[in-house]
Amino acid sequence: MSPGLEFDEAMARGVEAIYRTPDVAGQRSVTLAAMALRPGERVLDIGIGPGLLAYDMALIVGEKGRVEGVDKSDPMIAVAENRCRDLAQCAFQNADATELPFDDASFDAIVSTQVYEYVADMSRALAEVARVLSPGGRVFVLDTDWDTAIWHTADVPRMRRVLDAWEGHLHDPRLPRTLGAKLEAAGLRVTRRDVIPLLNSSLHPNCYSHGMLAAIAGYVAGPGGLPQEEADAWLAEQRALGESGEYFFSINRYLFGATRV
Ligand SMILES: C[S@@+](CC[C@H](N)C(=O)[O-])C[C@H]1O[C@@H](n2cnc3c(N)ncnc32)[C@H](O)[C@@H]1O
pLDDT digits (tens, 9 = 90+) for 137-173: 999 999 999 999 999 999 999 999 999 999 999 999 9
Distance between Cα 200 and ligand 1 center (Å): 24
User: Does ligand 1 come within 6 angstroms of the Cβ of 24?
Assistant: no
In terms of residue numbers, what domain contains 60?
9-147+170-200+251-260
> Number of folded domains in the chain?
1
Q: Residue 2's pLDDT is what?
A: 52
CA angle 34, 35, 40 (to 5 degrees): 150
Identify the CATH number of the domain in which residue 19 sits.
3.40.50.150
For the chain, count helices (H), then strands (E): 9, 8
Contact 188, 259 (CB under 8 A): yes
Q: Give the predicted TM-score (pTM) of the model.
A: 0.96
Alpha helices in the chain (DSSP H): 9-19, 22-35, 52-61, 74-83, 122-132, 156-167, 176-185, 208-220, 228-244
CA–CA distances in Å: residue 153 to residues 161, 168, 203, 204, 217:
12, 21, 14, 17, 15
Question: Is 219 domain-assigned?
Answer: no
Q: How confident is the model over 28-52, as pLDDT tens digits? A: 999 999 999 999 999 999 999 999 9
Up-side HSE of residue 95: CA atoms within 13 Å toward CB? 17
Distance between Cα 76 and ligand 1 center (Å): 8
User: Does ligand 1 come within 6 angstroms of the Cβ of 73?
Assistant: yes
User: Does ligand 1 come within 6 angstroms of the Cβ of 121?
Assistant: no
Q: Cα separation of 43 and 40, whole Å?
A: 9
Question: Is 233 domain-assigned?
Answer: no
Question: Is 222 domain-assigned?
Answer: no
Q: Residue 28's pLDDT is what?
A: 97
Q: Cα separation of 20 and 161, whole Å?
A: 28
User: Does ligand 1 come within 6 angstroms of the Cβ of 47?
Assistant: yes
User: Does ligand 1 come within 6 angstroms of the Cβ of 54?
Assistant: no
